[in-house]
């Protein structure tokens, strides 16, 4: 998996702070920005986050390049609807000799790994054979969820906070959890105040909403207090 933050709103935290101040000022956005130093920006962002006033977070966006992830992951990713996605098409791009993601549980089991790789090899052969007699858009029906893909994804900061809340949770599927943690690391490097409290609710809010499916992490955290 390769994840890159390829573009984002310049000075994202200042934009959020200026948007918040604009609601209570007769000054223009440019005038407000001129009077915002780093300390004031950090304070505004912190108070907005604590009060749950996150509409101004929607003014900044972050664009990611995501490569080498499975189709199983991309099907989960697009469930986060307040975002924009572009994905490599299996209709127009032939997947001869496609790469595939191997789950850790399979890698750690020699018998399972052998069977998994045999299935992938057979599917690659079946796919190539089908391309000789049907269009790629129909041959793709035999491609597995393990087949790798590339995605460009653009989120605003508020939507990212929601994404991190759900997908950095220990209950999230392993591949998308890895992706979410990598994305969180990248945005924290450029907007530490916006994302300082991002993560699963057991850490950020002291609650777990997984019910009987809880991983038990919250009890561990409570025991450390």
Which residue ranges are tagged as binding site for dUMP? 76-79, 87-91, 140, 167
- For the annotated binding site for FAD, the residues are 55, 79-81, 87, 156-158, 162
Give the list of residues 6+ apart from residue 222 with CB closer than 8 angstroms, or none.
206
Q: CA 64 to CA 144: how far, in whole Å?
A: 24
Sign, Cα dihedral of 165, 171, 176, 178? positive
Q: CA 98 to CA 6: how far, in whole Å?
A: 25
Q: 100 forms bridges with which residues in the sheet?
A: 147
Q: Which entry of 122, 167, 171, 182 is annotated as an active-site residue? A: 167
Query: Which of 159, 153, 158, 161 lies closest to 200 in space, CA to CA?
Result: 161
Q: CA 71 to CA 77: how far, in whole Å?
A: 10
Q: What angle do CA 208, 211, 216 make, to 5 degrees?
A: 60
Query: Which of 5, 30, 39, 23 lies closest to 13 in space, CA to CA?
Result: 39
Q: 224 forms bridges with which residues in the sheet?
A: none
Length of the chain: 225
Cβ atoms within 10 Å of 17's Cβ, excluding its own: 24
Active-site residue, 167 included: yes
- For the annotated binding site, the residues are 55, 76-81, 87-91, 140, 156-158, 162, 167
Positions marked active-site? 167
């Amino acid at each position: 998996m390769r994840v890159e933050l390829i573009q984002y709103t310049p000075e994202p935290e200042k934009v959020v702070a200026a948007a918040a101040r604009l609601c209570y000022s007769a000054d223009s956005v440019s005038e407000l920005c001129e009077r915002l130093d780093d300390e004031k920006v950090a304070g505004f962002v912190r108070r907005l986050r604590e009060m749950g006033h996150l509409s101004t977070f929607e003014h900044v966006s972050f664009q990611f390049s995501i490569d080498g992830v499975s189709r199983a992951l991309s099907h989960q990713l697009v469930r986060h609807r307040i975002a924009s996605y572009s994905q490599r098409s299996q209709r127009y791009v032939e997947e001869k000799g496609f790469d595939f993601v191997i789950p850790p549980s399979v890698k750690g089991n020699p018998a399972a790994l052998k069977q998994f790789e045999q299935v992938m090899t057979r599917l690659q052969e079946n796919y190539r054979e089908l391309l000789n007699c049907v269009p790629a858009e129909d041959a793709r029906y035999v491609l597995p969820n393990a087949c790798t893909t590339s995605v460009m994804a653009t989120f605003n900061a508020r939507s990212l906070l929601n994404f991190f809340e759900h997908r950095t949770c220990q209950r999230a599927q392993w591949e998308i959890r890895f992706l979410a943690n990598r994305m969180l690391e990248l945005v924290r490097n450029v907007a530490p105040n916006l994302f300082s409290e991002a993560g699963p609710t057991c850490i950020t809010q002291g609650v777990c909403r997984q019910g009987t499916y809880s991983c038990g992490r919250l009890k561990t955290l409570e025991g450390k207090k």
